[in-house]
Structure 1
Amino acid sequence: MVILTLTTDFGLSDGYVGAVRGAIVAHASGDIRLLDNTHQIPPQDVLAGACAVLQIARTFPDDTVHLCIVDPGVGSTRAGLVVRAWEQWFVAPDSGILHFILDLPDARVWRLHEPEATATEATTFAGRDWFARAAARLATGSPVDAIADAYTIDECARLNIPQPVFHEHRWVGQVLHTDRYGNIISTLPPPPAEARDTARVFVGEYLFGPIRAAYSEVGHNKPVATIGSLDTVEAALNGAAAARRFGVRRGQTFEILFPEPVAPPQWPPWQRLTGKSRPA
């Protein structure tokens, strides 16, 4: 049975999620297992949605279909996408929500066929009337060429995530995201293991110390830097919310200082990720 996951900004107080799930079941030609990743992405926060998609994808088995909907351009001429990467499928509006997936070395992309308009469908609910149907067909046996045409990554919408600056003694990136725990996720890849003990991690003017293996290596409520699940350097407080404590927002400077020279790393760091978290 094929797994189909849902990642949206629809929330849980209205019927939007149920309507999408109903459309999937109605248009599936075989058995399908629906799993909710999250529907609590802040409204129209494409970057948060992109982080959530990257966070889960490598844990699922081959041929999982991920339906990803954060769609500020709903009703416009923006494209719909199908992407194949990590031996999995991703169906989404071309909003930037697949930014990180499109960076993966094996990513291939198609443009979804436009849906046929009917008098009973709203132009404001493409998640139900277009993307859910396409994902259901893909998950239950339709070949991708039956629902989409070849497209190029260069034609896809991308998020504005500046490449960090890498000097021998200083890496300068920015805050990519803050999670619900208040952890501060950066755009900087992990430095070599031998450089972590002597590194100094700063978010703005705040020092979070060297890079450690676990939060528990510092006392309660103390600052700590770690390698997070997106394979980037993070800053946190052990048992508290660093982003809220220090008023940290996306785009702020996040830097690592080194006493000894360190070679520039691979960029972007999510290209280093593989399917290693998935079963063989």
Structure 2
Amino acid sequence: MAIITLSTDIGTNDFVIGAFKGQLLTLQPNAQIVDITHQLSSTNFAEAAYICVNAFKYYPEETVHIVLVNLFEFNPSQLLLAKYGKQYILCPDNGILTMICKQKPDNVFRLPIKKEAKINTIQCLENIALAAHKLATGRSSLQVGQATDNFVERYPMRPTFSSDWIEGQIIFIDRFENVVVNISEIEFEECRKGRNYNINFGRGNSIITEIQENYSSSNNEDYIATFNSAGMLELAIKNGNLAGLFGLKGYKTENSSFANSQAFSEAKNSGKRDWVYQTIRIFFE
């Protein structure tokens, strides 16, 4: 049975996702369609990639992952298909593919969108549904699309390292307003080298000096740091909303419309970095 996952920014308040599932099931009646989320950010590709990467790795080989974010950021003349490990990703040509893969995949295929009629969301989804059907029935990537190396590339920011500190960006804030930072446990330990550390966040002297195994082992500390199930640094406050209380904001994709605007340039030049993304710094001693 074919497995097709959906990760989109479309939401579920109108007919579009229902119509898309109808398109998929008409072509592949026995497909198992899995909703990962329909609440991806349309502009925060770092957040979208974080969600997709950490969900996709639990699916079996040959799963087809459909990722739809900011479908009409650019004129959609083509969609993309790529092999992701032993799975497939179908997505718009807007940089989300390389944000998820963290590199340029070796084999990428373009799915041209016919311009015989006005291009709208349902028409684009129809092209994706057909491609997913072909993959699910054993067609090769070459039978689905045309090989290409000409597509939009964006890449996630990496933490900044020094001998005595690491600075990372917030990539995700969950519904409890806990904060996930793009510093992995491996990176942390490599830079730490057994030393003590202070995790600095928010305004004033907001410091965490110990990373817990999980929330229940926090020994009643107000602030909590742990490495979550994705292996990334996560910060929280007991019985509170850390992001809201400390004004923490998620990293915004640099190539977003805001990042290309005059307001972005003025904010950057004035040193107002929190307009772009919020950083967390860890000092070692």
Q: Is the pair's TM-score, using the shorter chain for normalization, greater than 0.5?
A: yes
1:258-279: CA deviations, max 9, x gaps? 11xxxxxxxxxxxxxxxxxxxx
Alignment partner, residue 233 of structure 1? 233
Alignment partner, residue 95 of structure 1? 94
Q: In structure 1, what residue type is equivalent to 2:4?
A: L
Please say if 1:183 is aligned against 2:182.
no
Alignment of 1:1-280 (within 5 A): 1-28=1-28, 31-73=30-72, 76-77=75-76, 79-103=78-102, 107-119=105-117, 122-152=119-149, 155-159=151-155, 161-190=156-185, 191-192=188-189, 198-205=196-203, 206-219=206-219, 222-250=222-250, 251-259=277-285
Alignment partner, residue 266 of structure 2? none
Identity of aligned residues (%): 25
- Partners of 1:172 and 1:254 within 8 A in 2: yes
How far apart are residue 188 of structure 1 and its match? 1.6
Q: In structure 2, what residue type is equivalent to 1:36?
A: D
- What is the root-mean-square deviation in Å for CA atoms of aligned residues? 2.6
Change in CA separation of 1:130 and 1:204 when aligned onto 2, cut-off 3 Å: same
- The 3-state SS of whatever aligns with 1:73 is coil
Change in CA separation of 1:176 and 1:64 when aligned onto 2, cut-off 3 Å: same
How far apart are residue 187 of structure 1 and its match? 1.7
CA–CA separation in structure 2 for the residues paired with 1:12 and 1:82: 25
How far apart are residue 204 of structure 1 and its match? 3.7
CA–CA separation in structure 2 for the residues paired with 1:135 and 1:17: 15
- Partners of 2:80 and 2:111 within 8 A in 1: no
- Partners of 1:221 and 1:240 within 8 A in 2: no
Query: Which residues of structure 1 form unaligned runs of 5+?
Result: 260-280
Alignment partner, residue 262 of structure 2? none
The worse-fitting range, judged by mean Cα deviation, of 124-133 and 15-24 is 124-133
- Partners of 2:195 and 2:284 within 8 A in 1: no
How far apart are residue 74 of structure 1 and its match? 5.6
TM-score normalised per structure 2: 0.78
How far apart are residue 235 of structure 1 and its match? 1.2
Q: In structure 2, what residue type is equivalent to 1:176?
A: I
How far apart are residue 195 of structure 1 and its match? 5.2
CA–CA separation in structure 2 for the residues paired with 1:62 and 1:258: 41
CA–CA separation in structure 1 for the residues paired with 2:239 and 2:98: 31
How far apart are residue 233 of structure 1 and its match? 1.4
CA–CA separation in structure 1 for the residues paired with 2:223 and 2:199: 10
1:73-92: CA deviations, max 9, x gaps? 36704541112122111110
How far apart are residue 166 of structure 1 and its match? 0.9
Q: In structure 2, what residue type is equivalent to 1:59?
A: Y
Query: Which residues of structure 2 form unaligned runs of 5+?
Result: 251-276
Q: In structure 1, what residue type is equivalent to 2:143?
A: A
CA–CA separation in structure 1 for the residues paired with 2:235 and 2:209: 9
Change in CA separation of 1:239 and 1:219 when aligned onto 2, cut-off 3 Å: farther
Q: In structure 2, what residue type is equivalent to 1:157?
A: E
CA–CA separation in structure 2 for the residues paired with 1:3 and 1:197: 46
- Number of residue pairs matched? 254
The worse-fitting range, judged by mean Cα deviation, of 55-64 and 219-228 is 219-228
How far apart are residue 15 of structure 1 and its match? 0.6
Change in CA separation of 1:77 and 1:10 when aligned onto 2, cut-off 3 Å: closer
Change in CA separation of 1:177 and 1:196 when aligned onto 2, cut-off 3 Å: farther
How far apart are residue 196 of structure 1 and its match? 7.2
- Partners of 1:225 and 1:236 within 8 A in 2: yes
